[in-house]
Structure 1
């Protein structure tokens, strides 16, 4: 393949190439130089760690300004308070419903296939539990006492609440509000341009992340909990590739195959970063420019979804709860399972869209039904791989919700969605002048 051919590769192809090369090089280094301190020091914790960390930091750098600015823009454009209430009600109802469906499917699959084996429970098993907030504290923490502190700490729920209140205020002060709204619209275009610039580094960042993962993932733990891994993976795929597309078809009549086709970039980013928040810039661009959702809707539903819609995490929690109960020989009653469904669904509202946070929420769910949290030590070895898959499921659900809400509000361009070429109009990482991805 010549340099010219490589340059013509779309973003999806470049990301896939980066993922493939990262896995291959990581496995080669791992097998050719086992236990090599040079590889560990200069590649695993050196080159690959630095490249991957820089890429993730650049993506996360955009999350707070993107969420705040886009939400202010979207909310300020909604002059009717009733419309904002409808948007919030529809979006939250969809997210909570799909989360409940996800964990119900997970528990049913785990009970059917019985992944837990009492022989796995070993003495001395230990998992250091980080304290999970109570549901009451989660609700209290939604509302910021210091919005500047919320912005600097990246507290997404508080940022969302403050941005919505700020945007509503802008929409209610007439001409002065319109001037402020224009400023935020211009600022939003600047932020989206920064997104385009950072996308130039995506294939290299993904390559480094996958290479490091291939060098560090322990296969011995994976073998011991392969059945658990397989059940979680299957339920995640069913939820992401069957449940979401079915809801999209039933509620909008749109072609689910076209949706899946246009979600490739978002899902690949989510898989490689294992962070809904880090993937948010790509999700927003895709929803607007390739799916056809209006910015007013996408700027509200997607930041909210990256914070509260954690169906993939709920699936992991459902299977893990049954798995751990079976390993320790503890029988759960119907009321216990209902408590797991309720707790995991509500806990998803307080789950941040960052890697690994699902294990903290799992500790909270286990405590609710009296299961030993030490059982988390059994699954922590394979959680990174599952975290990547469930993040891809989470962002898929965010996009489905955005399309459904946008269509119900009459803020959806069906021609863009149905245009096969729109799925090929990927982020131009070669020429920023030839493909303006900002809203006009």
Structure 2
């Protein structure tokens, strides 16, 4: 896909600047509305202004399914055979599970060291706010998880943007196309051209990113008093920031270890996707843009198209760190003692149950609630973290993007034929 016409780097910088301005203006507007309007009016304003974010995210969502399908099928077909798919897939899963384990371990470490849930006053917690999340956990089981990852209809999977289901179908389709050889070339060429068109659409959709970020930020600040939230949850949020910062340090060090000086170039490439994910609390919203930027960084298109869809299902580092952190925090708040053996069991359970649910709304909270139920921790404890979860989600989403960009770049470098030569932007 190196023939795609790309924007100049200066335009990328302008987009990043526009998004930062949009975040600032959105926060200012939201705070002004919150401080000067009646609560009901502010809530109504938040509902309407969030439409801007919804429009942007839906614009992105409309191209995710065809982008995942076309790029993954073309990527597998270009890899040529099952052995190549198995080789890269093995490297990918090895990285994903290692990163997931380290992320879970970091969350478990800091929540035990800082103990943000110990001595928490539970008298003012609105337990009814957790009803939506706890209701979803009733359908959360190993059987449902296994059934969920296998699509019964590719049309249904695409309609629901079920990335993991689309990945499963695309892998079978790509392998079948590769096995046919020259007879499948017209189909693969058509899908290749289609993916080029979809990536061109990304440029148009990204023009709406500042507007979407503005709406998302303004909507949140209009109905939430940030000062009260941070004062009430200062220990939880502060401890979470320590944990997520530690994870960033580990990821960046791993990047420099495997990519060397090119890690700095990678960070410059993905700064715009990072900020969009942070502002919209959606790593899914930057999937198309991240695909384009990683190819511009120099990772082969066949590696990007294979790795990113898998990463969005199996490699959510920020969410993984939060899951152990939040689960043990709730246990601390309710005085439930978890010995180290039980916590390690919880970690292993989360390694498995957290995979493949990227498309589930509030996926991290659903997994946390389900995990609490498995270990006799009150599920309604989810209500403790709901008021500040949006702000935690901003950092989780950005971390997920960093983790997937890093995994794709490193696996790309590991492949002998991929020397990570930057694509010409002229």
Alignment TM-score, normalising by the size of structure 1: 0.88
Check the 8 A contact 2:346/2:371 in 1, yes or no.
yes
**Per the alignment, do residues 410 and 98 of structure 1 end up closer, same or farther by CA in structure 2, a change over 3 Å counting?**
same
Matched, 1:95 2:101: no
Output the CA distance in 1 between the equivalents of 2:56 and 2:250: 32
CA distance, structure 2, for counterparts of residue 83 and residue 375 of structure 1: 46
Give 1:271 shift.
0.7
1:23 paired residue number: 27
**What is the CA-CA distance between 1:145 and the residue it aligns to?**
2.4
SS at match of 2:355: helix
Partner of residue 379, structure 1: 385
Q: Runs of 5+ in structure 2 lacking a partner? A: 1-9
Alpha-carbon distance between aligned partners in 1 of 2:90 and 2:335, rounded to the nearest angstrom: 41
Aligned to 2:127: 125
Whole-angstrom CA distance in 2 between matches of 1:401 and 1:25: 37
Q: How does 1:205-244 map to 2 (within 5 A)?
A: 205-219=212-226, 220-240=228-248, 242-244=249-251
Give distance in 1, aligned partners of 2:417 and 2:287.
20
| Cα offsets for 1:309-348 (capped at 9, x unmatched) | 1221121111112211111111101221011211111122
One of 45, 48, 63 as aligned partner of 2:47: 45
- Checking the alignment, whether the CA contact within 8 Å between 1:293 and 1:411 is kept in structure 2 is no
Does the CA contact (< 8 Å) of 2:34 and 2:224 recur in 1? no
Partners in 2 of 1:232 and 1:7 — Cα distance?
34
Q: Residues of 2 paired with 1:325 and 1:267: CA distance? A: 32
Q: For residues 362-396 of structure 1, what are the alpha-carbon distances to aligned partners after superposition, in whole Å with 9 as ceiling and x for unaligned? A: 11111222111111101001001111110110111
8 Å CA contact 2:101, 2:351 repeated in 1: yes
Q: Encode CA deviations 1:239-291: one digit per residue, 9 max, x unaligned.
A: 12x111222222343443333233211111111221222220111111111x2
User: Which of these residues, 268, 271, 277, is aligned with residue 278 of structure 2?
Assistant: 271
Shift of 1:80: 2.0
> Residues 221 and 234 of structure 1: is their aligned pair in 2 closer, same or farther, counting only changes over 3 Å?
same
1:431 aligned residue: none
Please list, as runs of the form range in 1=range in 2, the aligned pairs for 1:104-119 lying within 5 A after superposition: 104-119=105-120
Q: Report the aligned-residue RMSD.
A: 2.2
Do the aligned partners of residues 305 and 353 (structure 1) sit closer, same or farther apart at CA in structure 2, a change above 3 Å counting? farther
Any idea what the Cα deviations from partners look like across 1:189-246, whole Å, max 9, x if unmatched?
1111111111111111111111112112244344322211111122112212x11122
The partner residue of 2:351 within 345, 348, 373 is 345
Relative to 1, partners in 2 of residues 1:415 and 1:169: Cα closer, same or farther, differing over 3 Å? closer
CA offset at residue 40 of structure 1?
A: 4.0
CA distance in 1 between partners of 2:11 and 2:162 (Å):
39
Q: Judging changes above 3 Å, is the alpha-carbon distance between structure 1 residues 222 and 379 closer, same or farther for their aligned structure 2 residues? A: farther
Q: Which residue of structure 2 aligns with residue 59 of structure 1?
A: 60
Give the Cα separation in 2 of the matches to 1:347 and 1:217.
31
- Given that 2:212 and 2:280 are in contact with CA atoms closer than 8 Å, whether structure 1 keeps it comes out as no
Deviations along 1:101-139, one digit per CA (max 9) or x if unpaired, are: 111111111111111133422387342201252234323
Q: Distance in 1 between matches of 2:396 and 2:127?
A: 26
Matched residue, 1:82: 83
Q: Among 400, 404, 416, which residue is 2:422 paired with?
A: 416
Corresponding position: 1:294 with 2:295: no
For residue 193 of structure 1, what is the aligned residue in structure 2? 200
Match of 2:170 among 136, 142, 163: 163
* SS at 2:272 equivalent: helix
SS of residue matched to 1:350? coil
Distance 1:89 1:7, change over 3 A: closer
Which stretch shifts more, 223-232 or 398-407?
223-232
Shift of 1:175: 2.2
CA distance in 1, matches of 2:55, 2:120: 42
Which residue of structure 1 lines up, in the alignment, with residue 37 of structure 2?
A: 33
Which deviates more from structure 2 when the two are superposed, residues 137-146 or residues 103-112?
137-146
Q: How does 1:238-387 map to 2 (within 5 A)?
A: 238-240=246-248, 242-289=249-296, 291-353=297-359, 356-387=362-393
Q: Which segment is superposed worse, 378-387 or 28-37?
A: 28-37
Query: For the Cα contact (< 8 Å) 1:276–1:354, is it kept in 2?
Result: no
Question: What is aligned with 2:7?
Answer: none
TM-aligned CA distance change 1:82 to 1:329, over 3 Å: same
TM-score, normalised relative to structure 2: 0.90
Q: How many residues align?
A: 410
How far apart are the structure 2 equivalents of 1:411 and 1:206? 38
